[in-house]
Amino acid sequence: MEKKGHPGRVSSKALTYLKEVVEYGFGNSSGPGCTNRFEKAFAKRMGVTYGIAHSNGTATMHSCLAAAGVKPGDEVIVPPLTAAATTYCVLHQGAIPVFADIDPRTFNIDPKSIKERITPLTKAIIPVHLYGLPADMDEIMKIAREHNLAVIEDSAECLLSTYKSKLVGTLGHMASFSLQASKHITCGDGGIVITNDEKLATAVRKFSCFGYHTLTGSSGGVIAKKDRGDPTSLRHDSMGWNYRMSDLQGAVALEQTERIDELVEMRMKIGALFREAVGDCSWLVPQYAPPGYINSYWTFVCRFEEKEAGCSWQDFRKKFYSLGGDFFYGAWQLTYNEPIFQNRQFLGVFFPIDSDLYKGKKQEYKPGLCPVAERLQPKLMHFKTNYLDLEEAREQAKALRETILQVEAERKKSS
Ligand SMILES: Cc1ncc(COP(=O)(O)O)c(C=O)c1O
């Protein structure tokens, strides 16, 4: 029977909050303040001072880059194996993405490669906690301190994971979370920045709301009436976009934050089921979590070795489907292999990469730039972890185990 949506993902409590918003009818400087309440609840759960809600988890990182003082022509180090958003926000700021290679076992950005890519123009690093696994933050922060760089954690896929017992998102200068539909908690689309730094929090909020001079890190997105009512009043003292989260999104985000532990725990249980199903298979190898790294499993990802398995990536997937397996994904293309990078016309012109504003070495986005990522990307398999019923997840783990056993048996037979 075809399933209708994802019942239970958002509880009926969200309807209570949505009703408050709808019944109030919206106001410029008043209302039920669901977005504000979401910000406070999220910051409290993360144990930080500031939470600044945004319309999505790309806008968040654009605001962070601006708050860190990244300007057109500066360089920002990013991994190539991630959603395009990690790199697009750099381009949105007119800055230059510089790709660092990844670790072959954790699939996360490799601090050694970061070091090699630093130049006098480098201003920031965006480590991604890929698929729910923390990046090597101690090493990254050490490099950042040595070179005076801002660190913006892209934690879109990583919620309540811990790194050496510390919550991911509290380790860099700022962290960005996404509440897009596939994420651990969602309001359809949404995002939030967290930080403990008052100056950065104020800069992030101002950038996300037209640079109104009245805004601070802790205030909501509204402008006080007294600041709008007088014809002589001045409003904007810095550049900003409109990246606000609406109170409708805030209502659902608030409900999700109230259930954050339950929602994350479910994904972690499902990740553990898949991990058990894979066992010590030598040709289907899960993302490696070093000691002290806890994966919150936005998705369960493995490296598939075709030759060793004696079966192609596509045939493995076909077999998994035939045994009742659910749809699964391959990895994104490496960002620099996408046509936008090959054509280099980023903002309709050659800005920022090939403009005179950029004084660095011409970036070449071509094969060989990040060899580890290039070898790994075609091998990855992303198994879904967003089941709301543990029984359904158990069936999927069983189908995966059975697929492995059958492929293994066929390989032995033919060798
Ligand atoms: C690693 C990563 N960063 C950033 C984003 C962008 O988030 P959003 O879709 O909320 O803009 C995503 C996915 O959506 C992501 O997976």
Distance CA(180)–CA(189), nearest Å, equals 4
Sheet holding 284-286, edge to edge: 284-286, 299-304, 380-384
| Confidence at residue 24, expressed as pLDDT on a 0 to 100 scale | 95
Kindly report, residue by residue over 8-62, the tens digit of the pLDDT: 899 999 999 999 999 999 887 788 999 999 999 999 999 999 999 999 999 999 9
Distance CA(221)–CA(216), nearest Å, equals 9
Kindly report, residue by residue over 326-364, the tens digit of the pLDDT: 999 999 999 999 999 998 888 877 778 888 899 999 889
Which residue's CA is the closest to the ligand 1 atom numbered 10? 57
Domain boundaries, the chain: 13-259, 262-331+374-414
Taking CA atoms, 22 is separated from 13, 32, 38, 73, 246, in Å, by 14, 10, 17, 44, 12
Query: Ligand 1: does its nearest atom lie under 6 Å from the Cβ of 83?
Result: yes
| Confidence at residue 229, expressed as pLDDT on a 0 to 100 scale | 73
> Where does the pLDDT of residue 293 fall: very low under 50, low under 70, confident under 90, or very high at 90 and above?
very high
Kindly report, residue by residue over 145-177, the tens digit of the pLDDT: 999 999 999 999 999 999 999 999 999 999 999
> Where does the pLDDT of residue 197 fall: very low under 50, low under 70, confident under 90, or very high at 90 and above?
very high
Which residue's CA is the closest to the ligand 1 atom numbered 8? 57
| Confidence at residue 1, expressed as pLDDT on a 0 to 100 scale | 45
Q: What is the average pLDDT value for the chain, to the nearest integer?
A: 95
pLDDT, greater one: 355 or 228: 355
Query: Ligand 1: does its nearest atom lie under 6 Å from the Cβ of 86?
Result: yes
| Confidence at residue 16, expressed as pLDDT on a 0 to 100 scale | 97
At which residue do the structure tokens 């066929």 appear? Answer: 410
At which residue do the structure tokens 């504003």 appear? Answer: 357
Top CATH class of 13-259 equals alpha beta
Q: Which two tokens stand for residue 286?
A: 């899960």
From the alpha carbon of 154, which atom of ligand 1 is closest? Answer: 3
Kindly report, residue by residue over 243-273, the tens digit of the pLDDT: 999 999 999 999 999 999 999 999 999 999 9
pLDDT over 70 at 227, yes or no: no
| Confidence at residue 220, expressed as pLDDT on a 0 to 100 scale | 66
Instruction: For the full predicted model, state whether its pTM sits above 0.85.
Output: yes
Burial 41-66 (b: 16+ CB within 10 A, else e): bbbebbebebbbbbbbbbbbbbbbbb
Query: Ligand 1: does its nearest atom lie under 6 Å from the Cβ of 79?
Result: no
Q: Specify the DSSP class assigned to residue 36.
A: H
13-259 and 262-331+374-414 share one CATH topology? Answer: no
Kindly report, residue by residue over 205-224, the tens digit of the pLDDT: 999 999 998 899 997 655 66
Ligand 1, pocket-test mutation among 58, 81, 102, 183, most atoms within 8 A of CB = 58
From the alpha carbon of 191, which atom of ligand 1 is closest? Answer: 10
Query: Ligand 1: does its nearest atom lie under 6 Å from the Cβ of 157?
Result: yes
Fold of 262-331+374-414: Aspartate Aminotransferase, domain 1 (3.90.1150)
Query: Ligand 1: does its nearest atom lie under 6 Å from the Cβ of 153?
Result: no
